Chain A
Amino acid sequence: AQSVTQLGSHVSVSEGALVLLRCNYSSSVPPYLFWYVQYPNQGLQLLLKYTTGATLVKGINGFEAEFKKSETSFHLTKPSAHMSDAAEYFCAVSDRGGGGNKLTFGTGTQLKVEL
């Protein structure tokens, strides 16, 4: 069974500082990988995804993530944090092939951005 581990349920950074949110997955076959963001009282918004091809993936709002198969990781980064980045971030995986859209999520990381 697939699983996703997000290290750090709460991360605090200063505005302008680097954002690094960690995600590791456990799967016998490299899955599809995603990062979602959730603002209060809202649904999930896709930040970026890795399905195939280039392992460095760029997403919306200046975020990017790198798929590292050897480390089974898909960490999310942003060079310079903005106050508007404060939200909860979820890493997720889904199986390749066979149809179906079942997402398995990590427990989430609450990002706080301080002045």
Chain B
Amino acid sequence: KAGVTQTPRYLIKTRGQQVTLSCSPISGHRSVSWYQQTPGQGLQFLFEYFSETQRNKGNFPGRFSGRQFSNSRSEMNVSTLELGDSALYLCASSLQTSGNYNEQFFGPGTRLTVL
């Protein structure tokens, strides 16, 4: 079974631009979560989508948004990029068949560099 895939793997943007990152979960997985990883702040939860609805949200400004499609693929968008948005963005998917914990599987990440 194919793992979580993220595209693109690397991205370079300039300040003020916007960017869209894509995540394809493992087949059958309905929950997709996004995390930002930076040297200064570490790994921080952005948001989680389940059945096309945002279920959880971290403490990030409104410039960070996401969505999930009917096939469970997810995208996250960052508008008006700032230098501090340079980070590794990780996506994770889980089966989520019940309210109990379901293991999350992480993708390789998208490395975003803002110049």
A residues contacting B by CB (< 8 A) are 32, 36, 41-46, 49, 51, 90, 92, 94, 96-108
Contacts and interface: CB of A to CB of B under 8 A. Distances in A.
Interface residues of B, number: 28
Contacts of B90: 43-44
Contacts of A90: 43
Contacts of A42: 108-109
B76 to A, nearest CB: 15
Interface stretch (B62-70, B77-85, B94-102): B94-102
A98 B50 CA distance: 13
Nearest to B94: A101
Given A92-B43, A101-B56, A103-B104, 6 more contacts: A42-B108, A44-B92, A46-B103, A46-B105, A99-B96, A101-B94
Contacts, number: 65
Contacts of A102: 33, 45, 48, 56, 58
Contacts of A101: 31, 33, 48, 56, 92, 94, 96, 101-102, 104
Interface string B21-44: 000000000010101000000111
A81 to B, nearest CB: 24
Contacts of A105: 42-44
A107 B35 CA distance: 14
A107 B42 contact: yes
13 contacts: A32-B101, A42-B108, A43-B4, A43-B108, A44-B90, A46-B105, A97-B99, A99-B55, A99-B99, A100-B55, A102-B56, A103-B45, A104-B45
